[in-house]
Amino acid sequence: MSRHVAETAHRLIPSPGGRIHLVEQGTGPLVLLVHGFPESWYSWRHQLPVLAAAGYRAVAIDVRGYGRSSKPTATDAYRMLDLVEDNVAVVHALGEESAVVIGHDWGATIAANSALLRPEVFRAVGLLSVPYTPRGGPRPSELFARMGGDEEFYVSYFQEPGRAEAEMEPDVRGWLAGFYAALSADTMPAPGAPDPHFVGRKGGTLRDRFPVGRQPAWLSDEELDVYAGEFERTGMTGALARYRNMDRDWEDLADFDGAPITQPSLFIGGGLDASTTWLADAIKAYPVTLPGLVDSHLLDDCGHWIQQERAAEVNRLLTDWLAALPV
């Protein structure tokens, strides 16, 4: 049953890496929302009031390195183990013992590892856009280096400190607009066009392949201004540090090689999102890797920014799943 809910409230709470900025709305069981790259708590603006109205305490964080959260200078301060402990710190600082955790993009991977490593804190997990893929296989840097042939995969491109920043930071707003457009259903490049996830090995940039002058329907100028303002203030290094810890994560999580997540789970992906096509085998493996899976949905004609592109549909799927969880 919906109810009147208070406006959103901003808070800064202590965490192992300094402080985490969060935005909360509503009262009830805690639902922690974790964004991806390159976003902020603001990517959950359509979910906060709906979850609050449905009877939940909805809390969206700025992940370490983003927005108003702390930005440690050391690259290895952004390893997955530390981000999981940030999530645990948020739950406990809010006076709670447990929470449902829901993530999008990198936030989905952070949410999955939070549930895997701290099951006593995270009683259920929702994954948007990026499927759960257990730790395993070759070292990530080796895997991504093999992709693309004569071109370089974006994850490899992001590895070298300063390199991607040099592309992004001179025009943060323009770069973000192009990146969002490249991965949105209504503005992404046509089939057969050069893939915006790759760059030429001889000095190319991601932006070379972004759509020009096309803004997705889900993103207004005012909303783009919010995103741009955050990164113009903070720079991009904290956000990119997540990519620069993938080999460390592979080493840190060796004891969890192939481990399933057993709590109740949900997956929602976009039918046009490269994340769901590249990782189609991970979705097929869910009976083994997510034995607690309650529902899995691929939304037709939807790109990567799923909770913004298809807010009403995602909200319905989230609230239906949450309502069915054991208390």
In 3D space, the residue among 11, 6, 7 whose CA is nearest the CA of residue 94 turns out to be 11
Three-state helix/strand/coil letters over 139-200: CHHHHHHCCCCCEEEHHHHCCCCCHHHHHHHHHHHHHHHHHHHHCCCCCCCCCCCCCCCEEE
Where are the extended beta strands (E) located within 40-163? 57-61, 99-104, 122-128, 151-153
Catalytic residue among 82, 86, 105, 273: 105
In 3D space, the residue among 86, 114, 99 whose CA is nearest the CA of residue 30 turns out to be 99
CA-CA distance, 311 to 315, in Å (whole number)? 6
Per 3-state DSSP, what percentage of the chain is helix, strand, and coil (rounded to 5)? 40, 15, 40
CB-CB contact of 287 with 265 (8 Å): no
End-to-end CA gap in the chain:
16
Measured CA to CA in angstroms, residue 162 lies from 149, 168, 180, 240 at distances of 24, 10, 21, 10
Catalytic residue among 35, 104, 197, 304: 304
Q: Is 92 among the catalytic positions?
A: no
Instruction: For residue 105, give both structure tokens.
Output: 């993009």
In 3D space, the residue among 146, 143, 140 whose CA is nearest the CA of residue 249 turns out to be 140
Place of tokens 């976003």: 39
Q: Is 304 among the catalytic positions?
A: yes
Residue type, 16: P
CA-CA distance, 160 to 164, in Å (whole number)? 8
In 3D space, the residue among 227, 209, 111, 226 whose CA is nearest the CA of residue 157 turns out to be 209
Residue positions annotated with a catalytic role: 105, 304
